[in-house]
Structure 1
């Protein structure tokens, strides 16, 4: 599988960083995309030096339709193809209350978590169809099935992204597979800001008794991106330590 062209959004930190490192270590050419160009380029340089792959950084705010197009155009011009797209970038900012949630913040959350991944998947899927096919993996959240008062716009966007995953699988088959990983809490820069009480309370809600390490999402992502999942499309795989219950 080595030598694939893999694009990961939100790739400079957290779960995305762990994914990028996995693909680079496997010999894939990785496009690290996030809002901060310097962080993307620094990580790409590290991969080039350590793994000898053609890694590049690209600044992209996935909430911008125009910047999503620019990312896909860049990859097409640089490599001529995309083999794997991981739509990992996301955001879930806090708000004082539902009544105080602003239209601007609502639109921003929907843009980053739904509009951007949709546009990137469509553009990447078209490029994959033009070449030899490929795999798209959308990172969603257990908030899609267990929404809370403090994350409703985020939860709605992730639930919609689960639906988009199924629809795009039908749209781009048989040569392009589209799947999703529905993630639970992972130990990233987001959870680093939690106090001890929040961390303990969350851990108690998880059957495995702890939040996940970023590397623990890699198995599901690598499976969906690779040939072992050749008969898997339109699937949503839950990776959350057993925290969420899926409605029947």
Structure 2
């Protein structure tokens, strides 16, 4: 058991829980990834913002560096490109040093008319971005972290992986696979590397613009929160899972969904 002084010092230290760390956030230029990148820089981390559009990453990096005083870099990469991911890590480490925190946030959820009309191209694209890319990054980054005896990796999944529907089946199947990767990589790289997942509920991001507002409102009546989340509301969970307070948490699935999974 810690002394009072030790406990107080530990709490005070978590005001900047990621100080001295380097974080890589995929899909980091918008939506949930953007909010996570902002929160991490505010918490003291140097941050590599990654997405397919480098100009969007550069705009956020410049603004975030000015606001926080942290080093923030921009990197263009498609997470479905297997070969690019190893060079991406090399690039980030050359600019910022070894990656201590990896966030697999990039994802896609294209719509389709019916299950029988799902094309092979759509299916492969969904799995490439939501499963194949995260697998490769977890493998390469995790091995490097384990060799340095420490690191944290966080996957952004979906509550839909627990409540799939016919309208989002390739996406939710891919996110279910991502949940499985979380358990497997936590075993492979523990105890020095922790791996966890956030099961994200409905958030008001760019993706939500395609939703039928009336349908969402009807569904939300059964949720304990009675509403869709704001992107900034992902930050606390991400900081917890990637920070020192979660030292005994690995292989976990944490729902941040306004109680959606608790609803009937």
- Class of the TM-score when normalised by the shorter of the 2 chains: over 0.9
Which digits, 9 at most, give the CA deviation of each residue in 1:37-70, with x for residues without a partner? Answer: 0000111111111111110010111111122222
Deviation at 1:78, TM superposition (A): 2.3
Helix, strand or coil: the match of 2:115?
coil
- Whether 1:182 aligns to 2:199 is yes
Report the counterpart of residue 255 of structure 2 in structure 1: 238
Q: Give the alignment's TM-score, normalised by structure 2.
A: 0.90
Distance (whole Å) between structure 2 residues aligned to residue 93 and residue 72 of structure 1: 28
Report the counterpart of residue 121 of structure 1 in structure 2: 138
Q: Select the residue among 170, 176, 179 that pairs with 1:153.
A: 170
Distance (whole Å) between structure 2 residues aligned to residue 150 and residue 119 of structure 1: 28
Q: Select the residue among 7, 10, 19 that pairs with 1:2.
A: 19
Q: Which runs of 4+ in 1 moved over 4 A?
A: none
Distance (whole Å) between structure 2 residues aligned to residue 28 and residue 184 of structure 1: 26
Matches within 5 A, 1:31-70: 31-70=48-87
The answer (yes or no) to whether the contact 2:71–2:96 under 8 Å persists in 1 is: no
Unaligned 5+ runs, structure 1: none
Distance (whole Å) between structure 1 residues aligned to residue 244 and residue 225 of structure 2: 29
Report the counterpart of residue 93 of structure 2 in structure 1: 76
- Whether 1:98 aligns to 2:124 is no
Q: Give the alignment's TM-score, normalised by structure 1.
A: 0.95
Question: Relative to structure 2, which stretch is displaced further, 76-85 or 218-227?
Answer: 76-85
Report the counterpart of residue 88 of structure 1 in structure 2: 105
Report the counterpart of residue 244 of structure 2 in structure 1: 227
Q: Select the residue among 134, 155, 164 that pairs with 2:151.
A: 134
What is the Cα-based RMSD across aligned positions, in Å? Answer: 1.3
Helix, strand or coil: the match of 2:57?
helix
Deviation at 1:245, TM superposition (A): 4.6
The answer (yes or no) to whether the contact 1:88–1:139 under 8 Å persists in 2 is: yes
Q: How many residues are matched? A: 246
Distance (whole Å) between structure 1 residues aligned to residue 220 and residue 181 of structure 2: 30
Distance (whole Å) between structure 1 residues aligned to residue 113 and residue 170 of structure 2: 13
Deviation at 1:143, TM superposition (A): 1.1
Question: Relative to structure 2, which stretch is displaced further, 54-63 or 64-73?
Answer: 64-73
Structure 1 or 2: more helix by fraction: 2
- Shift of the 48–136 alpha-carbon distance from structure 1 to 2, 3 Å rule, reads same
